[in-house]
Every structure is written in C-alpha cells, then in structure tokens.
Amino acid sequence: MQKLRQAVLFDLDGTLLDSLGDLAESMNAVLREDGLPTHGLDDFRFFIGDGIQALVKRSLPLRLHNDRPALEAYLDRYRASYSQRWHLSKPFAGIADLLDTLQAQGVGLGIVSNKPDNFTQQCVQTLFPAWTWEGVVGQLDHVPSKPDPTGALAMAEKLGVQPEDCWFVGDSDVDMKTGVNAGMNVVGVSWGFRPETELRDAGAQHIIGQPAELLALLNKD
C-alpha cells in the first residue's frame, strides 16, 4: 500500500531561524532611544512567540501597558527598527540539510508563524531561497494567531494533506498548542527559545535535539 503524502509545518523564529539577537536588539534600540530599561536575551526568549504586539508590550514598563497610543507608537518604531535587522538572522545548524532531505522525499513544506506576514515572507524569500515552500503565512489581521489552529489547518488544506498526516514543528508552548488544536503530530525542538519542560507541558508528542531527528519520525513505519 502506498504511503500517504506527509507535510511538515514549521514555526519560523526559534525553529528554523536563529533570530533572537536581531529581535532583541531591534526592541532594545527603541528602548534606548527613550532612556527606558533594556532586556537581556533570556528575557526576550519569553517575550517572543505571541506576535509583535505582545513582544512590544512585554518589553515596555508596566506604566505603559494600558497606554494605547504609546503602544501603537512603539509598535511602529519596533517595525522600523526590525526592518533594518531581520536579514541578519541565520538558519540554525542542520536546518539546510533537513530541508534538502525533506524536499527530496517529496514531503510538503510550509511555515506558519506569528511574525507579521510581511516580515515572514521577506525572511523566507531571502534566507530560505533554496527550497520550494508550498505555503508560507505569518500574522495577518483577518486570521487568528497561533495557538488558534485556523492558519495551520488552512495550510494543511493548501498542501493537500490531512491534519493527521501533518507534523507541526515549533519551539514554544504556542506552537505545541497549535499542533494539538489542529490534530497534527506535534514536535518540539530543544534548540529554540523555550525550555523542553514548557514544550512537554504544552502537549509535545516528540522532542528533538537535532534537525535530522525529524527524519526518523517521518520515516517510521
């Protein structure tokens, strides 16, 4: 019996892309301009994952959290700052070889991110140009953000794969919950921004420490 086609839906930041330093410096640069406290990389590991609005709000002092005009202004400034730095990010070690093998095996490749869609598209086109992505989507106003499964399920449909034949791969609780909510196979990566305990608590069915380990999961009988 012929094996059904499989697909892998990846998160972007912290899963495919080592972008923590650029995301952090983009926000810290804005904070420094106004003499506000900056944050270390470990802080940003937990600021990232729920979308750009959450990142900016978490980075600002508590006194600004309910100041909507200020939040909107800082959001615009962060976008401008990040637009100068996003291209400095790099794929994690081993990702290129993993993508080469998946593509050679005919596995469908997609990306579902909470990064704004314009930055998501730019990152993928510029930093991952060697692979055929059948679908790429970031945060859009008309689509609920992860962990809502809407984006992941729409991507599975676009790739012509049933949810149970999709592997959702990410580095945060948001990603694990997305995969669970979508009824997909849920894989957490330990090289990303969040601890392994968080991934397990959020529903990870598998934890991998190297990109190549994903191949063994997909190729199991």
Distance CA(104)–CA(106), nearest Å, equals 5
- β-bridge mates for residue 108, sequence order: 7
Helix (H) or strand (E) run with residue 213 in it? helix 213-218
- Summarised one tens digit per residue, pLDDT across range 32-90 is 999 999 999 999 999 998 999 999 999 999 999 999 999 999 999 999 999 999 999 99
Q: Which of 11, 22, 171, 173 is catalytic?
A: 11
Contact call for residues 182 and 152 (beta carbons, < 8 A): yes
pLDDT band at 220 (very low <50, low <70, confident <90, very high): confident
- Summarised one tens digit per residue, pLDDT across range 113-131 is 999 999 999 999 999 999 9
User: What pTM did the predictor assign?
Assistant: 0.94
Check residue 147 and report its DSSP letter. Answer: T
Distance CA(144)–CA(137), nearest Å, equals 12
Helix (H) or strand (E) run with residue 99 in it? helix 95-104
Q: Average pLDDT, stretch 182-206?
A: 97
Number of Cβ within a 10 Å radius of residue 94: 14
Q: Is 11 a catalytic residue?
A: yes
Number of Cβ within a 10 Å radius of residue 197: 8
Q: Helix (H, G, I), strand (E, B), or coil: what is residue 63?
A: helix
* Phi (first) and psi of residue 163, to 5 degrees: -55, -40
